[in-house]
Amino acid sequence: DQETSGSLEDLEIIQEEDMHPSLDTTLNHEEEDLEIDEPQSDIVPIRRSTRTRHAPDRDLEEPANYKAALLDPESEKWLNAMNVEMQSMKDNEVWVLVEIPPNGKTVGSKWLFKKKTDMNGNVHIYKARIVAKGFTQTPGIDYEETFSPVADIRAIRIL
């Protein structure tokens, strides 16, 4: 049956073609059919906001650093606030003075100033805080571990 239907001959022809593929396998493309996009000469720039940026008005009256606080017309109030902060740290034993080890470095600090106002916008407290510049520390070199303040559950139950 297979010989009469011709399927055996077709199979042999297909197998022979697979063994010897034609050399030219590329498609013929005509140059006229291809369209090449030319680069645009008039490039549109990115739109940027023309609005001027500035600090909020509430921050304009507060000194940015220690030197600015001393030059401020209200420097006496800022100095008093700094003294209150230092006395608070001394009373709470925030730090212990130690000798700097060889090849050791200290962590810098910065004063931050804030005017606390009432509901009418009147200043009633000049607040100064000193903060450590912890971003200058390297883990494993400047410190080993960090701890979060955690209360004992028994102490919370008593309260």
pLDDT tens digits for 82-111? Answer: 999 999 989 998 888 888 888 777 888 899
**Cα–Cα dist 109/95, whole Å:** 13
**For the residues 7-23, what does the mean pLDDT come to?**
62
Break the chain into its structural domains and give their ranges. Answer: 59-158
CA angle 9, 15, 20 (to 5 degrees): 125
CA distances from 111 to 30, 64, 72, 128, 137 (A): 75, 8, 14, 7, 18
Question: What are the phi and psi torsion angles at 3 (to 5°)?
Answer: -70, -35
**Cα–Cα dist 81/90, whole Å:** 14
**For the residues 125-154, what does the mean pLDDT come to?**
73
- Tens digits of residue pLDDT in 35-90: 566 666 678 878 888 888 876 666 557 888 899 999 999 999 999 999 999 999 89
Average pLDDT value over all residues in the chain: 75
